[in-house]
């Protein structure tokens, strides 16, 4: 083993591959349920911010404020190499094109216990799709 270690995740979905005592680096690759038209939930972390860097492809980062049955989305098309941060306690998710890869940096073992889910209603899903379509207008994307 050399002095410089390398990590890669070529499979689908989320994989934390560098877990230290206080922080971890993970990679999120496209998988069913993470596309532009099939997100059904958002999540939040109570103990950590979550940072995202688009490695390649097309991704949309979503933040949300949830109040009873009302929801307000903030949606941005990610740029490669730009660091995005979602503060702890903020509802969020990320929608990906099929060939997309995103790095995620957060507290260690966040993926094991520090998350809550909010499942979107059909109306909320449709509203989210509309917001995603606005930021992707003019961009080639996955079929509905």
Would you say residue 97 lies in a domain? yes
Stretch (H or E) spanning 77: strand 70-77
DSSP lists the bridge partners of residue 117 as 43
Q: Is residue 63 part of a domain?
A: yes
Task: Express each pLDDT in 6-62 by its tens digit.
Answer: 898 999 999 998 988 999 999 999 999 999 999 999 999 999 999 999 999 999 999
Q: What is the CATH number of the domain that holds 64?
A: 2.60.120.10
pTM listed for this prediction: 0.89
Q: pLDDT tens digits for 68-120?
A: 778 999 999 999 999 999 999 999 999 999 999 999 999 888 888 889 999 99
Q: Are 64 and 42 in contact (CB under 8 A)?
A: yes
Structural domain includes residue 35:
yes
Whether 143 is covered by a domain: the verdict is: no
Per-residue pLDDT tens over the stretch 129-143: 999 999 999 554 444
- Identify the CA nearest to 77 among candidates 130, 142, 132: 132
Domain span at residue 65 reads 27-103+114-136
Domain count, the chain: 1
The whole-number pLDDT of residue 112 equals 82
72 within domain boundaries: yes
CA–CA distance, 21 with 141 (Å, rounded to integer): 38
Q: Classify residue 125: in a domain, yes or no.
A: yes
Residue 111 is predicted with a pLDDT of 81
């Amino acid at each position: 083993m050399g002095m410089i270690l390398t990590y890669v995740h070529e499979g689908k979905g989320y994989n934390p591959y560098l877990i230290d005592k206080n922080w971890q680096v993970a990679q999120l690759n496209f998988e069913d349920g993470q596309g532009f038209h099939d997100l059904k939930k958002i999540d939040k972390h109570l103990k950590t911010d979550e940072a995202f860097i688009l490695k390649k492809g097309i991704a949309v980062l979503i933040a949300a404020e949830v109040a009873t049955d009302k929801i307000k989305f903030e949606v941005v098309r990610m740029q490669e190499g730009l660091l995005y941060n979602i503060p702890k306690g903020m509802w969020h998710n990320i929608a990906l094109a099929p060939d997309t890869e995103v790095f995620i940096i957060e507290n260690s073992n966040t993926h094991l216990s520090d998350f809550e889910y909010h499942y979107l209603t059909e109306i909320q899903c449709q509203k989210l799709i509309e917001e995603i379509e606005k930021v992707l207008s003019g961009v080639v994307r996955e079929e509905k």
